[in-house]
Structure 1
Amino acid sequence: MSVEAQAVHEVANAVEETGGIAALGINLKMFIAQFIHFAIVLLVFWKWVYGPIVKMLDKRAEIVEKSIKDAKDVEERVVKLEAERASVITTAKAEASHRIEEAQALGETKKNEILAEAKNQVESVVKAGKEQLVREKDAMIKEAKKEIAEIAVKAAEQILKESVSENVSKKMTEEAIGKLT
């Protein structure tokens, strides 16, 4: 037989011995060896490549979730602080308005007190001035009466041409003053 016929015969024998897989052109020993190699590569890949990548992705997902949660917390805090700030500003404005009103009322009270005190002082000065004028007027009238009496006595002396004693002159002066008052 020829070499070709012998090869075909060997292939046919091999097909009969190995069954249907050999008929497909698959070598069972090679298939098992490749399957074992694939399993080893898959195990190595799973253990040293896929596992760490999955862990890294899980950690990254946790970090992202935590960041999102923190952002929501910060946003809630910002809203809360904004409301609190608005409340504080409103309270401060109300307090400032109240204090301004109190200050205006106090200023008005002080103004009225100062005006009343100034009015009292003016009245007091006017009263003192009037009293001083009355005293000066009385003193001037008294002085004028005294001078008039002296003039009258001198005129009477000249009219009478007589000499009047000092006692009589003093008595006449007092009588004249008494009549004038």
Structure 2
Amino acid sequence: MLGITTLAALPLGNMLFIIIAFLLLMLILKKVAYGPLTKVLDERADKISSDIDGAEVARQEAEKLASQRQAELAETRQNATKVVNDAKASAQKQSDLIVSAANDRAASVSQQAQTDAQKLKEDAISGAKNDVAALSVAIASKLMQKELSLNDQQALIDAYISDLETK
């Protein structure tokens, strides 16, 4: 209460001066301090908002890049699997061709060997027939020339066989 009575006791001129000085001080503070302070606070709020928006954009971009990387990785794995499977199929096909060629070659060699063996057999039989025929003719001609005893026949056969062995 003391302050109220003191205020009323002030002369009107002083009171008017104090009110004008107070209003003038408020006006100066508004221009000098409050305006720049609100400007700084607004700028700071804008910067924080911009940083938050930038962080959100960066997060979305990072998620997008991570998603793309995952897709590319999956595609690369799929391509690698395809290449491996193609290589296996190609190797199996090549292996089958080599085995088939080897089997064909073996069959051809076997057939040729059988043909050669048959020809040799036929040649041997033909040669034996010719030898037997020649032997028969030789024996018959010798028999015609003379009548042979058993010892003479044996000697003639042995001589002919030794003659064949030397040929």
Structure 1 vs Structure 2 CA RMSD: 3.0
Task: State the AA in 1 paired with 2:117.
Answer: L
- The answer for the alignment partner of 2:123 in structure 1 is 139
- The answer for the alignment partner of 2:132 in structure 1 is 148
Residue-pair matches, total: 142
- Provide, for residues 74-104 of structure 1, a one-character-per-residue CA deviation record: whole Å limited to 9, x for no partner: 2223333333443444444444444444444
Give runs of aligned pairs for residues 4-19 of structure 1, distance below 5 A. none
Q: How does the TM-score come out when normalised to structure 1?
A: 0.61
Q: How does the TM-score come out when normalised to structure 2?
A: 0.65
Matched, 1:69 2:49: no
How far has the Cα of 1:71 moved from its partner?
A: 1.5
Unaligned runs of 5+ in 2: 147-167
- The answer for the alignment partner of 1:26 in structure 2 is 10
Q: Taking structure 1 as reference, are residues 41 and 24 closer, same or farther at Cα in structure 2, changes over 3 Å only? A: closer
Q: In 2, Cα distance between the equivalents of 1:126 and 1:27?
A: 143
Question: Percent same amino acid among aligned pairs?
Answer: 23
Task: State the AA in 1 paired with 2:32.
Answer: W
Unaligned runs of 5+ in 1: 1-20, 163-181
Q: In 2, Cα distance between the equivalents of 1:26 and 1:119?
A: 131
Task: State the AA in 1 paired with 2:20.
Answer: I
- The answer for the alignment partner of 1:51 in structure 2 is 35
- The answer for the alignment partner of 2:67 in structure 1 is 83
Structure number with the bigger relative contact order (C-alpha 8 A, sep ≥ 6) is 2
Question: Which deviates the most, 66-75 or 141-150?
Answer: 141-150
Q: Highest Rg: 1 or 2? A: 1
How far has the Cα of 1:55 moved from its partner?
A: 1.2
